Copies of this chain bind each other. A is one copy, B any other.
Amino acid sequence: MTGPAVDIIPARRGKAVALAKGQTIRVINTPGTQVLDTWAFNRGDLGESMSMEHSRSFNSKIMLGVGDSYVSERRRPMLTVVEDTSPGIHDTLLCACNRYIYEEQGCREYHRNCTDNLHEALAEMGLKIPFTPAPLNLFMNIPVNPDRSISRLPPVSRAGDHVRLKAAMDLVVVFSACPQDMSPINGAQKTPRDAHYAIES
């Protein structure tokens, strides 16, 4: 028996995936160290998108776990966490990286970034949105300290850890294998690597 096909989310690149209501996607942190910025849009109306600020409000927590649902700004569940083999550390607080952040960090040339990856991946599907929603940063390790500062630490997930997310409506889901190589959020080696996913019925 073969399982569902496993596809690549190439290092530093975005990938848009159509997901039907009821389907589950397994998102695999192949190297263990790779952060995956993640967005979801109602496939029938791109004006409805997964919202981190509404998901925190809906669940009354800043980090969601198994059984919790990420919701849209219309408060409808979009993706429900059905399994997580990692320690469950994901981030809902930080923006997608963009060209301006890399300029801030001293880059003089264009640096690939999750914001452009989102829009490029949607464009490959012929889709366009007028802004960049705050992403779900799967596997990203951003603790909030008691003084309300945040730290940027390497992921605590292990090679091959996965999260399974179930679609509560027909969706376009976009992943970006975060290109950040100037801070340790993609591991102490600061090296973005390929991740993978599989759509399960």
A108 CB–B CB distance under 8 Å: no
- Given A75-B101, A104-B75, A131-B131, the answer on whether A95 and B148 have CB atoms closer than 8 Å is no
**CB <8 Å contact, B101 and A57:** yes
A96 to B149, alpha carbons, bound, how many Å?
23
For window 92-122 of chain A, which residues contact chain B by CB distance below 8 Å?
93-95, 98, 100-101, 103-104
A3 CB–B CB distance under 8 Å: no
Smallest beta-carbon distance A99→chain B, Å: 9
Interface residues of A (CB under 8 A from B): 47, 51-54, 56-57, 60-63, 73-75, 93-95, 98, 100-101, 103-104, 130-132, 134, 144, 147-152
13 contacts between A and B (CB under 8 A): A47-B130, A52-B134, A53-B93, A53-B94, A53-B134, A54-B95, A60-B152, A61-B150, A62-B144, A62-B148, A73-B100, A73-B132, A75-B104
Closest 9 CB pairs of A and B: A53-B95, A75-B100, A53-B134, A130-B130, A54-B95, A63-B148, A61-B149, A57-B94, A62-B148
